[in-house]
Amino acid sequence: MSSEPAILPRHVAIIMDGNGRWAKKRHLPREAGHVAGVAAVRETVRAAVDIGLENLTLFAFSSENWKRPKAEVGALMGLFRRYFNSDMNELVEKGCRIRIIGHRGRVAGDIHGMIEDAEKRSAGNKGLNLTFAFDYGAQEEIASAARELARAARDGRLDPETITPELFASRLFTSALPEPDLIIRTSGERRLSNFLLWQSAYAELLFLDVLWPDFGRAQLAKALETFAQRERRFGALNAEAVA
Ligand code: FPP
């Protein structure tokens, strides 16, 4: 596409927030907001494929979301089922490589099966790396990586002195992905809510006032333009300051 910004982030991650408020504004039940949220997921993924983005990670369900009323959790699970059933063929055909990061052990058996099937079917694909954070919490992810390294050290398989940030990162769910360059959160809230805490060390953060169901192709393009204008220094000085 001709209107693409010059500097594309390699990895965009999105905290999709505001489904409930979108529904409330319309005097609809919260579930209607999630249904509209799925449509926004569909449009955003298609746009990411068209733009040629390498990695897109979507925060679909947090470990803390289990605390929501049973009926809402049930409705969300139903939507994931339907989304995977209806969109998987298209995603695979478009070359997307699907990954799920998160706990896995706590989701219903059929959803677990769908996740594994999607990953298997798309494993050889070379297009968009599409990752869903599902029953995901960053603190638990970090604790789990620490546990694994501690076990290896206890068993004499690892010298603790050799633990580097790179080694640690290789034990995270995201080991196959580059760190996110851009993290977008919709709905006006300004926090990371336990999403990619390790991986976001140098990410540009973009907080948008738009509610998730209103996000789509145009908002993604705008976010990428904003990213292209940001100056990233990774702790160093910019070229002007050095000269
Ligand atoms: C936040 O809105 C959104 C969620 C808890 C779930 C995100 C789920 C979707 C976008 C739909 C399904 C996704 C896939 C991948 C099929 P909220 O309910 O917290 O909104 P609120 O803060 O306004 O109440």
Q: Is 17 a catalytic residue?
A: yes
- State which ligand 1 atom lies nearest to the alpha carbon of 35: 11
Residues touching ligand 1 (Cβ under 6 Å) are 16-21, 34, 37-38, 41, 58, 60-61, 65, 79-80, 83, 132, 187, 212
Alpha carbon distances (Å) from 151 to 143, 148, 186, 188, 238: 12, 5, 39, 41, 42
Domain membership of residue 120 (yes or no) is: yes
Domain membership of residue 170 (yes or no) is: yes
Domain membership of residue 237 (yes or no) is: no
DSSP string for 83-127: HHHHHHHHHHHTT-EEEEES--TTS-HHHHHHHHHHHHHHTT--S
CATH code where residue 119 lies: 3.40.1180.10
- Cα(34) to ligand 1 centroid in Å equals 6
Instruction: Please tell me the total count of domains within the chain.
Output: 1
Q: Which domain holds residue 17?
A: 11-229
Mean pLDDT of the chain: 94
* Under 8 Å between Cβ of 225 and 184: no
Q: Is 209 a catalytic residue?
A: no
pLDDT tens for residues 158-176?
Answer: 999 999 999 999 999 999 9
Domain membership of residue 218 (yes or no) is: yes
Please give the model's pTM, rounded to 2 decimal places: 0.94
Domain membership of residue 239 (yes or no) is: no
Domain membership of residue 241 (yes or no) is: no
- Cα(83) to ligand 1 centroid in Å equals 14
At 213, the amino acid letter reads P
As a whole number of angstroms, the distance between CA 86 and CA 109 comes to 19
As a whole number of angstroms, the distance between CA 149 and CA 158 comes to 8
pLDDT tens for residues 98-149?
Answer: 999 999 889 899 998 998 999 999 999 999 999 999 999 999 999 999 999 9
- State which ligand 1 atom lies nearest to the alpha carbon of 76: 12
Domain membership of residue 84 (yes or no) is: yes
- Cα(211) to ligand 1 centroid in Å equals 10
Domain membership of residue 240 (yes or no) is: no
